[in-house]
Amino acid sequence: MNGHSSGAQDAELGHWIAVLDSIMDGELAMNMLMAAGDRAVPYLEHFLLAGPPRTIALPRCRAARALGELGAYSTLISYFRDYEFATDPEVLFAEDAVRSAVARELLRWKSDEVLRVLMDATKQRATSGLVLAIGEFRRPEAVPLLFQILEDDFCREEAKDALRKVRETAHPYAILLIRGISETAFYGPYTLHRRRATLQLLEEFGISEAEWQDLRQFLTESDADIVISAARIGSRVGTASDQRQIAEALFRISEHVNWAQEGEIEELLDTHPDLAHEIADAVIEERRRRGEHANWLAPSWRILRHVLGRALEGRQYGAA
């Protein structure tokens, strides 16, 4: 009788494992498996760890959720320790969602072991869920890894959020990064987004006048986002001579900016209107000598018109 009962239970659990794939009843299957308690863990473990590659992530995400609810710590840890990346790009992309789901479930145990496993998994292939999970630990040892991830288009915002949670460590590390004395690359052809994000974070954190000496160099960069971030920082803590360098840098990059950057430049120039007016006059004079014709569709010309206003009327470059 007990054997018959056990067999019926096995059949029922096997049925609900199969139903995890259902669009209509997949959530019900997950709930039924969680309701079955520890008996369901081996079935869910096999489904997650030994199941075939898939291009649809949701069934395996449901299994991860159920394993987390059932306290299957060792299974979730094994997922990352034993995971082999798929060669099929579609499967690999789908499995990223599963990796994020498993990372979220492991947050039930905020142990040193879990953090190490999550960081190792992130070094292999970062996902948004992994990075968010690491951020929840608020641990300084994760800071170098999070700065590396700032170069990742898919996880950059999550890495920034994680760094905001440890700003007391992230701030000094960012300064070391800029000085070139950290383990994370900061200058080179593949670090543009890291530099942008680092400047944006330092702008949020706030910097001292002494730290500004390290950031002044970014006014000479060609990237508009970097220059604008440096300009915003310098406008608050820089000296009078810095304000001239800032304004000149903003006019320099104005040739190739988008509409949002154009508005930011105008706001920054408005903080020192007399200085901006003086430099705009010089820019206009230089363009006149080059024989350049006004092009009011170009952002640089619109910025000049914004700064000079009525003073531009009646000149060769009066408003059209």
| Cα dist from 130 to 16, 96, 115, 125, whole Å | 28, 9, 10, 9
Q: Give percent of the chain with pLDDT exceeding 90.
A: 82
Q: How far apart are CA 109 and CA 90, in angstroms?
A: 31
Q: Tokens representing 245?
A: 């360098």
Q: What is the pTM of this model?
A: 0.89
Q: Residue 315 above 70 pLDDT?
A: no
Q: What is the mean pLDDT of the chain?
A: 92
What average pLDDT score do residues 107-127 get?
A: 97
Q: Tokens representing 8?
A: 């019926």
Q: Give percent of the chain with pLDDT exceeding 70.
A: 94
Place of tokens 């049925």: 15
Quote the pLDDT of residue 4. Answer: 52
